[in-house]
Structure 1
């Protein structure tokens, strides 16, 4: 959907919001349509600060906003209750009130924790997403899932708190390390597997261009991913049904992240492995053909992502799977799709999981 500067809309009735493609240096004027208060706190990380903080801050101040900022260490290790407490204290010390706004400037970690803080501060204030990584642009910035981790489980403390807007500058991907670009491609590939066969085939044809940062190709990949995410979220905001399809690959992926203390795998790397083994379950159950399974593995490999499960003791894996927020009454639930992209949310018993992982 279009209108003015609006490129896409996440249609949630009174909570609807736009996804706009623009330069980071232009966000100030665009905020005027979305944020009534003149007081803003930017949350960013140490990596993004040097690239984009000044440009974003100057743009907002030129539009008449009073801007404070907080910088957190880069990486998943910052997505904790302790860091959320610090940011809440920063918000109070900066004088934010119920009409103020928090702006998340960075990748998925920044967006998740900034959104979580916005959801909790004074029982919820506005926030804006300005995602600067591929993973955040195509996935975590859209949909209103905000959270922090506990040592035992990823994203286990959180809320649904929709942003007022998402502003995407695809040129920001030029400053991404190659590993971070690849980790975002895992979520892009996910959309092709779960939703759109034509997009899957397009990714197969254009993977090398994506890896070489062809801006036109990247913008199409980001836009199509956002279209799919917006379509799913608009139908199921709080994950009571269809939205769970977006968890494809995440059940095992989150377990791998937690097993390694969020230090060995990026989120996308863990999800890539998770997608392979979820697809292997679907293959064994006759839901997909061997040809489709092989094409999934091949595309993930060509994106430079891992496809093989590290041989952790199964008891450790099982413990993380049963503590995952997607589990129900201790039962392990996988999001699976068949070759026609029909979604299934299935309980998978431990014996089947062990067989898939180790045989």
Structure 2
């Protein structure tokens, strides 16, 4: 179903931000956000899909205001976590936690989604961190600069810079880093894991990225995704990637999958999303042809939202798959 692409994660952020109701909506969002379509979504049986459609016609300032409000609901950092900067911009920060008493722990670095234009490191990060720390991993969730104030190229460079920051931390093993991303964050993780330009500019050897985990990624082949006849978030793709096909291809991980690449990959598309499964399999085939080890494991009974939101829950089947992959790297 086409409606479940990248923007469904965006719809989740928006729906969670708006669920408080009309009064709070009127008080906390800019006037340009308070459209009739958005108000009607509060009465819809499926707020998330309704908000997704309504947000397509909103200005970027409105989408960012909704994202900021959703992030604020995540609350303060849990005990033992730290927030550090990896660059001078206010968005170039990570929240992170390391297993107590462990020196040189391997690290999972998570990259959030949000259509390249919204999202925040605090969304759904706390339980992921608690879970992976329990498995002996350090965990970091990174913010990055957002479109349109930044380009996708700059976002990928931010991810690489966050890896460079992580390698300088005494609690982190600099050569055992796993890059994980959801939705647009999966696209950025895949791009950094396939195009060596970004890590090289950050002074990071490709071998330091021991593995890459992609959660229902968005646009591994950007040009192909933008050409799809039913892309409900086409305006966000245009804002992020523009109309220049050469640039779209340059920002497509599948187009960079010839060696060198990160050596180990786990790709988890949502089973019901034909486009996500197809793009995952195409990326995997090219990575395998270049010598990488790749698993594609479509996730049944998951949506674009729940795959990310439930990761780290006790008994969650997707978490079991990720844990098995990570254990194989140690």
Higher relative contact order (CA 8 A, sep 6+): 2
Could you tell me the TM-score, scaled by structure 1's length? 0.30
Q: Which has the higher helix share?
A: 1
Calculate the TM-score normalised by the size of structure 2.
0.32
